[in-house]
Amino acid sequence: MKIDFGKVLRESLHFGFDPKRWLQLFVLNTVFFFILLGITLPNLSVFMQGISESAGLFSFIGYTVYIMIVCVVWWLLLLFMSGAIIHQSDKGKNIKSSYSVAKEKFFSLLGASVIIIALSLIVSLVGVLGPVGSVLNMILSIILGLIFFFTLPAIVLKKQSFIDGIKDSYDIFMKNKLYVLAILIIIALIEIFILFIFMIPAFYLFFSIFVGLFTVSPSMSDIVAALNNNIVMVIVTALISIVGFSISQAFVFSALTGFYKQFRKKLIPFS
């Protein structure tokens, strides 16, 4: 089977950098960034006290549960939006119809994701076996990632159930192991590069604030004060990073769709 890597990557990069696409993800990511910032920044001392002192343990647990709930809600909305973005990347379908498809396929996407997460957690248990277990866990996690790599586009594009989507992705991997591995590596490298470029301002701000601060063993109040004194720049650089994160997400969803279509170009009922 011949895979046109250049075509898929060009189209996916164009899609990922299209503001009409990444702005959808940017809005979602930004809203939850500010929610988490509002939870953590005013209570940073509580978090640190909970880590170091038993007296603050209950407050620490309470805020941690709150953050976990917020992250789960963000993940669910991102999963819903991933269905829409995948649908949009298929021949540039319009935004409104894509969210109708995402709504229709959400529980299939959720079911597949729950199975994948459950299997990943089971595999992670081998990590308790020490260094050998950690290596084995990493290898098995990569294999699972390759097996389930095309599950989401399979569910959205072929309108399959979550079981059929998983089977379809598994079938692609078993018949094209080296291709799928190469695709994963290429997508990951491009994603990391995009993230790195957009996070440069945040890295620079972090080092400019904290390098000098940590040479004098700062207290937690010193760290909180440093963040508050630079809160505008913290938010600006964070928003720039979120732009890069959103672009990389749009690129990944589009690339998954493009490569899936290459593998299944004669089997997908495009309409």
Query: Confidence band (pLDDT; 50, 70, 90) for 270?
Result: very low
Tens-digit pLDDT profile for residues 156-198: 998 789 999 999 999 999 999 999 999 999 999 999 999 999 9
Relative orientation angle of helices 231-263 and 220-229, to the nearest 10 degrees: 80
| Cα–Cα distance measured from residue 80 to residue 253, given in angstroms and rounded to the nearest whole number | 12
**What pTM was estimated for this model as a whole?**
0.87
To the nearest 10°, report the CA torsion of 217, 222, 224, 229: -130
Tens-digit pLDDT profile for residues 220-245: 667 777 777 888 999 999 999 999 99
For the chain, the domains span 5-263
